[in-house]
Amino acid sequence: MTTIAFVGLGIMGSPMACHLARAGHDVVGHNRSPEKTAALVEAGGRAAGSVAEAVRGADVVALMLPDSPDVTDVLTGEDGVFAHAAPGTLIIDFSTIRPDVARDLSATAAERGFRMVDAPVSGGEAGAVNAALSIMVGGGKDDVAAARPYLDTVGKTVVHVGPSGAGQTVKAANQLIVAGNIALLAEALVFLEAHGADLPAAVEVLGGGLAGSAVLNQKAPKMLDREYSPGFRIDLHHKDMGIVTSAAREAGVATPVGALVAQLVAATRAAGDGGLDHSALHRTIARLSGRASGPSPRDES
């Protein structure tokens, strides 16, 4: 049994921490909103009132936090991991942050005697709940090997993609592809609806051909039902598209489609939809077409 401190028990972190607890590990969770530790406690874990309390005595520290500044603060702050965890502790950062920040934090961790891997995930809430996440891992070979049992507990596809920061680079590419697919799916549904097509039937046949994808399978039903409860919030995808555009500029790479999609995500957020699922891009496309979201096509059929 390993003692694991898990910091960040939101939509993704909570089910991941629960899987680790149910696998027999001693999981100590901390979240800025204390009530979010309830599910972990019910799964057999423990709640901590601070990061410092959570990481004392931990063999592994896992993070699932919203953005680069959050990860930096949790690791380097006075109440943070570097100040209170024991040297040699393995740090697994499941958050999605900037690749350059991941590299810098890994270097600082090594200087202070810690081991660290970046392990951002894809698969959304459903992937976290079902322990079916795709995990792209950056770090040294031995550190990744040490992290592997915990990664395998919460993920289905776990791949070591390179040195520190490489996981975050691959995750940025993932978010670019996902956002582009969601935007085009939204455009297709607005287009089909404007022509009076049977939308559920259209989605079914599209899903059986080359247009089929995990995005279509997971997000088309939300668009059809006008039900945008967050599995992955627009606010977070907006942050991720910022990571993509910044990293692309740094590398001298043109991402013209990505730049347009980033603006669509930003417009969705500016319209007040930042707390909705990223499938709410459908609302922005509908507004641009003068077709504000109305009743669900399923309700009309």
Contacts of 300 (CB under 8 A, 6+ apart): none
Q: How far is CA 43 from CA 13, 17, 47, 62, in A?
A: 13, 9, 11, 17
CB atoms within 10 A of CB 187: 17
Answer left, alpha or beta for residue 300, where phi above 0 means left and psi between -120 and 50 means alpha. Answer: alpha
One-letter amino acid of 21? A
Burial readout 127-155 (b: 16 or more C-beta within 10 A, e: otherwise):
bbbebebbbbbbbbeebbebbbebbebbb
C-alpha of 2 from chain center: 25
| 219 labelled catalytic | no
The angle formed by the CA atoms of residues 114, 120 and 121, to the nearest 5 degrees, is 140
* Active-site residue, selected from the candidate residues 171, 219, 222, 239: 171
Residue 89 CA to residue 143 CA, distance in Å, equals: 11
CB atoms within 10 A of CB 70: 17
Give the residue numbers annotated as catalytic, written as ranges.
Answer: 171
